[in-house]
Structure 1
Amino acid sequence: MSPSSKALTLVTPIQPGKVKELDALLSEIGEDITNKTGRHISFSQLTTVHFLRWVILPEDTEGARHYPPQLAFESNYDGPLDAHLEELIRVGGPMLARIYASCAGCPDDVAGSVESFKRFLLRYQLPAAAFYRGYPNHTVRDVLDNTLARRAIQDFLDDPKRAATLRGLKPEQLCEQLQKYLATVPGLKLERACPPPPSRLDRFVRRLMESTPIQLAVGIPVGLLLLPVLAPAVLMLMWKEARDEAEPKTEDVVDPRVEGQEDYKVQNQLTHLVEVRPGWFRQLTLRTVLGGINFLARHYYNQGHLGGIPSIHFARWVIIDGGRRLLFFSNYDGSWERYLGDFIDRAAVGLTGVWSNTRGYPKTRLLFGKGATHEEEFKQWTRDHQVFTQVWYSAHADESVRNILQNVAVCAQLKTQLKSQEAEQWLLKL
C-alpha cells in the first residue's frame, strides 16, 4: 500500500511586468492566513491539504545564465491528484484566477473551466527528485481527529470535578471511564483504518541499515563488483572537487523579509533555491544522491525522522530549469537555528552529498565529507539562498511531528479493552 500523502510541485513562468502586482497579492493572502479572516481563500475548507505554499522565485541575471521570474506552488496532500486539484479550484477558484492571471497562458475563466485550468497547471508540474514524509500513512483527517481526541482526554483528566471520582481507580478502570467519555464527545471519530504493515522491502532495508554483519556481507561483494565503475567515479570526483572554486561574494544577500516570517508558531518553513554546478558529472551525481535519499525516505526513514532529525513534517528537493537549479521546500518544527543545527549534527553527510553539487556550498571532500560541518559557512550559505515565501498554510499549525505521532500511538488503542499492564503503559503515553 502506497503512503497516503503525496507531493505536488508547479513552477510557472510569470508574465513580464507582473511580478510586483503578484507579490502584493500573494503577500495579502499570506497575511490573511495569519489573521484567519478568510477574505481571500478559506484554507480551512481544504480537506486534502497538510501544507501548501506559493512563492515567487525572483529573476536572477547574475552570472552567465538568466533565470526569469517564476511562481512556485507546492502542496503535501492526500488522495488522488485529480481530486486534490478540483478541491483547490472549488475552494479558491476566484483567487486562483487572480494569482495565475499573472502567469503566461492561464485560462480566463478558472471556476467555469475546471478541466482546462487543471490542464494548464499540470503543464508545469515537476516531479520531486526526493520526497520525505514525517507521518506517511496518516491523512489530514487522521491528524485532526487524533489531536481532538488527545485534547478531549486531557480535558477529562484535568477536570477538577472528576478528580474525586477518578482517584483510586485501577488503570484499566480509568481507561474504561475515558473511553465512555470519549464516546460522548461531539465530532470525535474513534474509528480509523490501521496503517499498513511494513512491506518486505521496508523490512529488508531496515535490517540492512541497522545490522552491521549484513551490511558487511552485502557491501563487500557489491563493492567489489562495482569497483570498475566506482574507482573512475571517485577519481573524477576528486578532480572536480580540487577544481571547485569558492563563489565570489562581497556581501551577504539575505532577503530581509525571510527572518521576519519565522518563529511565530510551533512550525516553520523554508524555501531554498541554488544553482547546480555545470557539467554532466555533477548532474548525474546529484540525481543519484537524491534518488538514494528518496528510496530511503520511502522504505527506511518512514517512522517520523529523517537521518535522526525528528522535526520535519514534509521536505522535498525538486530539480528545475532543465536541471540547472535545485529547489528545496521544508516544513519543520522549532527555530531555524535549531533546524540547521540538527542538520549539521545528525545529517551532515546526506546534506553534503546533495548540496556539494551546487554553487557556493562550503568546501567538501569525497562528496559527503566536510561541507555542512563548516557550521557558520553552511548557515550563511543557506540564508543567502533562502527565498521569501509569500503564502504558507498548515492544516495543523499547532502540532509538532512528535505530538502528531504521539497522538497516533495514544488513539490507536482507544477502541480496545486494555488489561491492567496495557492500561498502565497506555496512560504513561499521556
Structure 2
Amino acid sequence: MISQNPLTLLTPVRQDCIEKLNEILERFKVGLNVGLNERFNKLGTLHYARWFILREDSFRDKTAFPLPERLVFSSNFDGGEDEHINGLVTIFPEYFDELYECCEGYPEPGMRNTETRKSYLSKWKVNTTAFYVGAPGRSLQQIKQEDTLQKYLWNIINKNNWDGKSALEIQKFLREKVNADPELAWSKESVNTPSTNWPGMILMVLIMIILLPIIIPWILILYFFYERRDTNCTATRSQLNDDLVRRLEADEDLFNQNQFTQVLVMKPGKVRLITVHALMLFARTLIKNFFVKGKLMGIPTIHFARWVLIDNDKHMMFFSNFDGSWNQYLCDFIDKSGWGLTGIFSNTVNFPETRFLFTGGAYDEEHFLAWSRGTQILTQVWYSAYHHLSIKNIVNNTLIRNELWKNLTEEQAQLFLKRI
C-alpha cells in the first residue's frame, strides 16, 4: 500500500514583492480553470495543494511576537517527499520561479536548476504535528482508476434490461464485460484496505489507564488555574468582519468539496504546550491505529486534515479538505467529536469557554462557529485532483473493485449492485 504524505512550506516574502505576489496568486487561481489544472494533473501523485500569504494581521488575535509576511504552500501527495518536490520543480518550474522569486533568497536566474530549486524549497519545510488521511493507502492513480470502473459498470447497468436476472447473474455479466476490456485489466488485482490495529489500540488504552494518576490531576490543574482565568470568545457570527466573511463564502460551494484554512495563536506557558503536544500524540495514535476506514471521529466527509505548529510552537495552522458545506462540516464535528476539537483547540487564544479540557468549548455552538469563521483566512489558490468525488465515493469504489471479482452470495451481490 502506498502512503500519502503532507508537505508544508513556510517561505519569507520579499517586502518589495508582496503586491506582485498577490497578483500572481490571483492569476494562478484563475489559471486553475484554464490550463494550470492540467499541469498539476501531470504530477500524477498530487491529491490537494494550496497557497496563501500568511501575515501578522492574518491572525485574529495578537501574535506572540511580530511576524514577517510568508508564503505558505501545502500539499497532500503519494510517495516520498523528495520525489514530490522534484516533481513540483520539474513539471512546472516556470510557475515556481515566478512565485518564489518573490521570496527571500530564491536562486538567481542563472543559478536555477532542479537541484537548486529543490534545495531552496526543502530549506523552508516545516514539520506536520498531526496528519489525517480519509482514504489511507489509496494512490491518486488508484482513486481515478476505481472511479473509471464505477462509471463503466454504472453505464452497463443503465443500458440493459435486467428483468428476471438475479444479482449474481448481473455481477457475472459485469465481470465478463470488464474481463474482456484490456484497459480494465488492473482491476483484477485485489487491493488491501487498512484495518483497525487492535493490539495498538489496546496498548494505548493500557498506557492511558496507567497514566490516569497524572492525567486527572493535570486536567484539574488546567481547570482551576488556567481555564477559569482564560479570556474566551463571546462574539457571534453577526459581529464578524462582513467583508472577510463575504470573501470566504464567495470561494465556497463551487464544487462538491471545500477547503478550510485556519491560523491560531497558542496560549502561553509550558502547561498549555505540554497539553497540546500530548493531545497531538493521542490524535496521531488514533489516526494511525483506529481512524483508517474513511471516518475521523465518526465524520465521513474529510479527505485530508493536518495540524502544524509553527514559530517555536507559538502559532498553529490547521488545513482541511472536506465534502459538503462549511456549516455542515463544523456542525458534524460538534455533534460527533466536540470533545476532541475542544481538547486541542482550547489551547489556542480566545477559544470559547472550556471546562476540564474536553467540555464546553465546541459544544457552545454559537460562539464556536463564530470563533471558527473569525480565525479562518482566505486560501488564495486551492487545487483538488478530484472535485467530484466524496470520501464515501472513494471508499465505496474500492469495495466495488474488490467485490466484482469475488464469489458472492445472492445477498452480497445485491449489496454490490447497490454500491454501483
TM over 0.5: yes
1:298 matched residue in structure 2: 288
Give the conservation status (yes or no) of the 8 Å contact 1:97–1:110: no
Q: 1:363 aligns with which of 353, 365, 388?
A: 353
- Give the Cα separation in 2 of the matches to 1:221 and 1:75: 37
Give the conservation status (yes or no) of the 8 Å contact 2:136–2:194: no
Matched residue SS, 1:329 = strand
Alignment of 1:128-143 (within 5 A): 128-143=128-143
- Give the Cα separation in 2 of the matches to 1:186 and 1:372: 52
1:107 matched residue in structure 2: 107
Q: 1:387 aligns with which of 377, 385, 397?
A: 377
1:349 matched residue in structure 2: 339
Q: What runs of 5+ residues in structure 1 fail to find an aligned partner?
A: 210-214
Q: More deviation in 408-417 or 240-249? A: 240-249
Establish whether residue 183 from structure 1 lines up as the match of residue 179 from structure 2: yes
Distance 1:229 1:153, change over 3 A: closer
2:123 matched residue in structure 1: 123
Q: 2:308 aligns with which of 292, 312, 318?
A: 318
1:203 matched residue in structure 2: 198
Which one-letter code corresponds to 1:168 in the other structure? G
- Give the Cα separation in 2 of the matches to 1:43 and 1:22: 20
1:90 matched residue in structure 2: 90
2:210 matched residue in structure 1: 222
Which one-letter code corresponds to 1:66 in the other structure? P
Matched residue SS, 1:413 = helix
Matched residue SS, 1:383 = helix
- Give the Cα separation in 2 of the matches to 1:303 and 1:283: 30
The C-alpha deviation readout for 1:194-246, integer Å capped at 9, x for no partner, is 226647xx12245689xxxxx6xx489525xx525752563244201121123
Q: More deviation in 119-128 or 53-62? A: 53-62
Establish whether residue 239 from structure 1 lines up as the match of residue 213 from structure 2: no
Distance 1:111 1:428, change over 3 A: farther
1:167 is displaced (CA, Å) by 2.9
Q: How many residues align?
A: 412
Q: 2:165 aligns with which of 146, 169, 180?
A: 169
Alignment of 1:327-342 (within 5 A): 327-342=317-332
Distance 1:44 1:228, change over 3 A: closer
1:212 matched residue in structure 2: none
Give the conservation status (yes or no) of the 8 Å contact 1:271–1:389: yes
- Give the Cα separation in 1 of the matches to 2:210 and 2:232: 35
Q: 1:411 aligns with which of 392, 401, 405?
A: 401
2:12 matched residue in structure 1: 13
1:259 is displaced (CA, Å) by 1.3
Distance 1:105 1:390, change over 3 A: same
- Give the Cα separation in 2 of the matches to 1:292 and 1:168: 53
Distance 1:237 1:124, change over 3 A: farther
The C-alpha deviation readout for 1:281-323, integer Å capped at 9, x for no partner, is 1111111111211111111111111111110000000001121
Give the conservation status (yes or no) of the 8 Å contact 2:219–2:357: no
Q: More deviation in 367-376 or 239-248? A: 239-248
- Give the Cα separation in 2 of the matches to 1:420 and 1:7: 42
Give the conservation status (yes or no) of the 8 Å contact 1:96–1:110: no
Give the conservation status (yes or no) of the 8 Å contact 1:41–1:91: no
Distance 1:219 1:106, change over 3 A: closer
Q: More deviation in 332-341 or 413-422? A: 413-422
TM-score where L is the length of structure 2: 0.91
Give the conservation status (yes or no) of the 8 Å contact 1:356–1:367: yes
1:182 is displaced (CA, Å) by 2.2
Which one-letter code corresponds to 2:166 in the other structure? K
The C-alpha deviation readout for 1:350-370, integer Å capped at 9, x for no partner, is 101111010111010011110
Which one-letter code corresponds to 2:335 in the other structure? D
Give the conservation status (yes or no) of the 8 Å contact 1:57–1:72: yes
1:423 is displaced (CA, Å) by 2.6
Distance 1:110 1:120, change over 3 A: farther
- Give the Cα separation in 2 of the matches to 1:110 and 1:282: 47
Matched residue SS, 1:271 = strand
Distance 1:103 1:191, change over 3 A: farther
Q: More deviation in 231-240 or 84-93? A: 231-240
1:112 is displaced (CA, Å) by 5.1
- Give the Cα separation in 2 of the matches to 1:184 and 1:290: 49
